Amino acid sequence: MKEIVLTPKELPKLPIHAEIIKPDAFAGKTIKEIGELKVQIGNKQTDLSEIFSVNGETSEDPSDLRIVIDGDVSRVKRIGEEMKTGEILIKGNAGMFTGARMSGGTLIVEGNADAWFCQEMKGGEAIVKGNAANYVGSSYRGEWTGMKGGKITIEGNAKSDVGEYMSSGTIIVKGDVEYFAGIHMRGGTIIIEGNALGRVGSEMDKGTILVKGEIKNPLPGYKYEGAVKDPEVGGIVHKGEYHKFIADISNPKAKGEIYALADKNNHLLPK
Amino acid sequence: MKNELLIKNGIVIDPLNNIMGEKMDIAIKDGKIVEEVSKNAKVIDASGKLVVPGGVDSHSHVAGSKVNVGRIMRPEDGRKMRESKTDVLRSQGGFSVPTTITTGYRYAKMGYTTVMEAAMPPLKARHTQEEIRDTPILDEAAFTVMGNNWFVMEYLKEKDYDKCAAYAAWLLKVTRGYAIKLVNPGGVEAWGFGKNVNSLDDPVPNFEITPREIIEGLTKVNEVLRLPHSVHVHCNRLGQPGCATITLETFKVPKDVKLNTVSDREHIFYVTHVQFNAFGGTGWRDFESGAKELADYVNQNKYMVIDTGCVTYDNTTTMTGDGPAEFNIQRLAGYKWVNGDVEVECGSGIVPFVFMPKNPVHSVQWAIGLELALLVDDPWRVIITTDHPNGGPFIRYPRVYAWLMSKKYREEWLKKSHPWATERSSLATIEREYTLEEIIINTRAATAKILGLNRIKGHLGIGADADVAIYDVNPEEFDFSNSPREVENIFSNALYTIKGGEIIVKEKQIVNVIQGSTFWLNPKVDKELEEEVLKEVKEKFKAYYTINFNNYAVDLAYLKNHREIPIVTGVA
């Protein structure tokens, strides 16, 4: 695999919109041509090479191309937006909308990811080794369809609204989440290995959420279905005994499933 | 010699002056069409190109509080079709609810120069006029909503048409409106109590007046005031299966009202977006088109005109003053919903909506819109609209033209549509194809005449406003019936748009942005009667309104280059 390394120079104070940082846009261009691609800073456009020093080897084939961002780009938005193939590795923190609408390829963030990570994702795989902010794999503001496919893994914690309006695909959070994981969910799978601050599965109609930690502030819209041993969720058998709930019955037709580890969630049972 | 322009050798279609495809020159001076210009005039060579009057849209929701609420509730719509600013243009965005700026640009790009905002609640008039002022290029006017107004209903109940006329005249004047609009007459008031009216003879709660009396009364009032446009009516029971029955009854209501107007219009009744009111059947299971009967009635009765409200299969936004209808749509489709109540006067509702070819009901709705346009024989009396943005955004007009001009294209889309479109409407059996002349009549001449603007708009005779569209097509050679995609392309991108003598679009690009004007009416009624009515209005204002009477009228400073149309009415 060919590799292009972007090293951030001194970044301006205004946020930068750099949706052109993706293998699909870099493939078939020389290093010089890549440096001449435009990024938006405020209401002005500038060359990519003003922001990053560009080195490495290019490829005609985007699927054979890895882009490595060697530094912190937390003020650079929309890296990897609509990427279809290839690989992006961000060695620092990533800015907002990283991987939005991506439909293929691999995206790895070694630091933390800002809000709207992999918004409206359609396919491919994304991994955050640090923490993620709000709205991981969510919809666009106002839209009623969110993540439609692919897999997101957050190795640290995530904040609120994970998988908002999600309809397919998988999100795994290895740490804790805050509020409203799986809000308006229509399908797909969310696995939370840590604790959830609360309101998991609010207004969900379909799909599955599995929580291995404690759900601290549950919703009144959970209907208890009984205990389940070793449930299979997202193609993996999760060892142990889980409480199963149907949610969110504020919509009487809802068929969402929530599994919560029995040991830590006995407070959710109907009295 | 300032601002002279000569459009040379174009093939001109100007139906109001009986010019149907003649090669001729059009001379423009100081914003008007003139006999001739000096040698210094700027020349546009239009050899082998189609030259027509600028488009006139008689029904579109482009400005005002509900359009703006639509924008606010649909950020996901606002991100579509975004364009950055250029040296000439400001930044643009939005598909079904574009920004005001975008609206002006896109209409101009299609060769349209005059657009009517179809519903302005009186209390929201200031907002509407501000948005109209914010819309570049276009000449505009707004229709004042009166069909559920408490004062109107009280006067009509007493059958005091003169007082009602004096009130309507005052309301048009203070809201700077252009026509009287009725939206689900009686039903929106009933909606304030969670109800609707289901027949023309259902009494409105607390007013004991029926929709029939409101419709007939306001039609009379319109003619008493001699307004340039007729009443503009959105019927009851919109969007309910079987509503074609009540629509047909509504058509018959004003049959005996006598035409009396300052303009050249020949009709007394304009029924809008009839597609949404032409549903047959008794429920969604036996849902079918009810267009045939309605079109037959329009064919036989010259006193009325309709517009179609075509569905274009898009992810669009429905917005209307008809609160209960929007509630029904929300229940059916489950999309997000906004309901608005305008105290004393009317209401509104907004719901996003995705019309899908494979949905049986949507496919029949699509067919109904086209059926109406094709089954009414006289292109002067059926207007092509999409009821922007309810049936689809106005940028889809060229596609509707293509459907109407090409049976082949309709068949192609029938195949994409659910079988119901074929089985439950007559669309598949209709052979008629619109000619280019009919399309031009429909989108320019007829709309201008119906609106009472035909002396200045919709034609290219001497003295008309110099609003001209030039399209990149030679009508003598081009086969409109067999090239529907090109038709869409041609009418989506005017080669030139000239507005008030200024070149706005040149070689399909906007090169210049100007401010259009706003038309408004100033009907003069008998002074004593007006004072008497205003005394009553002021008293009730204190009781009913949350706004002070003195803050109600919209100052002319809110209007862009306002053009007042003064009318001396027939009130005794």
- Yes or no: say if B176 and B554 are a contact pair by the CB < 8 Å rule: yes
Which residues of chain A lie closer than 8 angstroms to B75, CB-CB?
140-142
Residue B13: phi, psi to the nearest 5? Answer: -115, 115
- Yes or no: say if B469 and B53 are a contact pair by the CB < 8 Å rule: yes
Q: How open is the CA angle B491-B494-B495, to the nearest 5 degrees?
A: 135
Whether B567 has a pLDDT exceeding 80, the answer reads: no
Each residue's pLDDT tens digit, A159-205 = 999 999 999 999 999 999 999 999 999 999 999 999 999 899 999 99
- A84–chain B Cβ distance below 8 A for any pair: no
How close does chain A come to B76, measured CA to CA in Å?
5
Q: For chain B, count helices (H), then strands (E).
A: 19, 24
Q: CA of A40: which chain B residue's CA is closest?
A: B84
* SS (HEC) of B39-60: CCCEEEECCCCEEEECEEEEEE
Residues in a beta bridge with B498: B468, B503
Mutate one of B69, B72, B73, B76 to test the A interface: name it (highest A CB count within 10 A): B76
Residue B299: phi, psi to the nearest 5? Answer: -60, -35
State whether A142 and B73 contact (CB < 8 Å): yes
State whether A142 and B335 contact (CB < 8 Å): no
Each residue's pLDDT tens digit, B171-216 = 999 999 999 999 999 999 999 999 999 999 999 999 999 999 999 9
Whether B572 has a pLDDT exceeding 60, the answer reads: no
Average predicted confidence (pLDDT) for chain A: 95
Mutate one of A38, A39, A139, A141 to test the B interface: name it (highest B CB count within 10 A): A141
How close does chain A come to B434, measured CA to CA in Å?
38
Residue B315: phi, psi to the nearest 5? Answer: -85, 95
- Structure tokens belonging to residue B285: 């299971």
Burial A82-103 (b: 16+ CB within 10 A, else e): bbbbbbbbbbbbbbbbbbbbbb
Rounded CA gap, B8 and B1, in Å? 18
**ω before A248 within 30° of 0 (cis)?**
yes
State whether A144 and B77 contact (CB < 8 Å): no
- A141–chain B Cβ distance below 8 A for any pair: yes
Which residues of chain A lie closer than 8 angstroms to B77, CB-CB?
142
Q: How far is CA B107 from the centre of its chain?
A: 13
Which residues of chain B lie closer than 8 angstroms to A142, CB-CB?
73-77
What one-character-per-residue DSSP string does B328-366 give? HHHHHH----EEEEETTTEEEEEEEEE--TTSHHHHHHH
Whether B570 has a pLDDT exceeding 80, the answer reads: no
Burial A3-40 (b: 16+ CB within 10 A, else e): ebbbebeebeeebbbbbbbbbbbbbebeeeebbebebb
pLDDT at residue number A12: 87
N-term to C-term CA, chain A: 58
Mutate one of A143, A165, A186, A251 to test the B interface: name it (highest B CB count within 10 A): A143
How many C-beta atoms lie closer than 10 Å to residue B150's C-beta?
15
Rounded CA gap, A55 and B211, in Å? 75
How many C-beta atoms lie closer than 10 Å to residue A226's C-beta?
7
Band of residue B565 on the pLDDT scale cut at 50, 70, 90: confident
Q: B404 CB contacts (<8 Å, ≥6 apart)?
A: B370, B373, B374, B384, B433, B434, B439
Which residues of chain A lie closer than 8 angstroms to B338, CB-CB?
none
This complex has an ipTM of: 0.87
Cα–Cα distances (Å) from B97 to A142, A221, B60, B64, B204, in that order, read 14, 35, 11, 11, 33
pLDDT at residue number B387: 96
Q: How many residues does chain B have?
A: 572
- Structure tokens belonging to residue B240: 């309910």
Pick from B351-365, B446-460, B556-570: least confident? B556-570
How many alpha carbons lie under 13 Å from residue A106 in its C-beta half-sphere? 12
State whether A143 and B76 contact (CB < 8 Å): yes
Each residue's pLDDT tens digit, B254-293 = 999 999 999 999 999 999 999 999 999 999 999 999 999 9
Cα–Cα distances (Å) from B108 to A32, B112, B335, B467, in that order, read 41, 5, 32, 10
Pick from A94-98, B354-358, B564-568: least confident? B564-568
Each residue's pLDDT tens digit, B128-144 = 999 999 999 999 999 99
Band of residue B2 on the pLDDT scale cut at 50, 70, 90: low
How many C-beta atoms lie closer than 10 Å to residue A227's C-beta?
11
**ω before B523 within 30° of 0 (cis)?**
no
Residues of B with CB under 8 A from a CB of A: 73-77, 79, 335-336
Average predicted confidence (pLDDT) for chain B: 95
How close does chain A come to B73, measured CA to CA in Å?
7
Whether B563 has a pLDDT exceeding 90, the answer reads: no
B407-416 vs B397-405: helix axis angle to the nearest 10? 110
Counting one residue from chain A and one from chain B, the pairs whose CB atoms sit within 8 A come to: 14
Q: CA of A140: which chain B residue's CA is closest?
A: B76
Q: Which helix (H) or strand (E) holds B315?
A: strand B315-320
Alpha carbon dihedral A118, A123, A127, A128, in 10-degree steps, equals: 10
Rounded CA gap, B318 and B354, in Å? 10
User: Which candidate from B76, B335, B336 shows the least CB-CB separation from A141?
Assistant: B76
State whether A140 and B75 contact (CB < 8 Å): yes
- A144–chain B Cβ distance below 8 A for any pair: yes
Rounded CA gap, B206 and B154, in Å? 10
State whether A142 and B74 contact (CB < 8 Å): yes
Which residues of chain A lie closer than 8 angstroms to B73, CB-CB?
142
Band of residue B3 on the pLDDT scale cut at 50, 70, 90: confident
How close does chain B come to A63, measured CA to CA in Å?
29
- Structure tokens belonging to residue A87: 């690989």
Quick one: average pLDDT of B439-461? 96
Each residue's pLDDT tens digit, B59-111 = 999 999 999 999 999 999 999 999 989 999 999 999 999 999 999 999 999 99
How close does chain A come to B90, measured CA to CA in Å?
12
Residue B509: phi, psi to the nearest 5? Answer: -115, 145
N-term to C-term CA, chain B: 47
